[in-house]
Amino acid sequence: MPFSYVVYKEQRLVISTGSGRISQAEIKERQDQTACDPDFDPEFDQIVDLTAVTDFEMSMDEFVVLARRKVFASRSRRAFVASTPHIFGVGRLWEAHSELSDDDPSKIQVFYDLASALKWLGLEADPR
């Protein structure tokens, strides 16, 4: 599965992981699945691990719709981790479009390494 997630209730964290080419349908399906997961709380923080993603297969309109969907609460912090400038840029676009949503968006930061993302989220170690 190119895009998956795990809920870590104890750490109040969701880790979403992508690999290869990711489509709009895959991201939407994971967002819907996460929102309906009985272990999920919209107040949880999130790590979006994009280090193994090579590209995104979606139009800009599809991208904007996904970025503006409200799955996490405004107090949630969401750390996107990318290993290439291209994917880092996509994360920054997601951050910008989320901030432009009509609702109060969650806080998003994009990082090149997991250690920095964990530190920003106040976590000492990767729960995986």
pLDDT score, position 114:
95
pTM: 0.92
pLDDT score, position 18:
94
pLDDT score, position 23:
92
CATH of the domain at 7: 3.30.750.24
Please check whether residue 56 is in contact with residue 21, taking contact to mean a CB–CB distance below 8 angstroms: yes
**Domain around 91:** 3-121
87 inside domain = yes
127 inside domain = no
pLDDT score, position 128:
85
128 inside domain = no
112 inside domain = yes
pLDDT score, position 102:
64
How many structural domains comprise the chain? 1
* pLDDT (tens digit per residue) in 32-64: 999 999 999 999 999 999 999 999 999 988 888
115 inside domain = yes
Q: Which residues of the chain have pLDDT under 70?
A: 1, 101-103, 105
The CB-side HSE value for 104 (13 A sphere, CA atoms) comes to 5
21 inside domain = yes
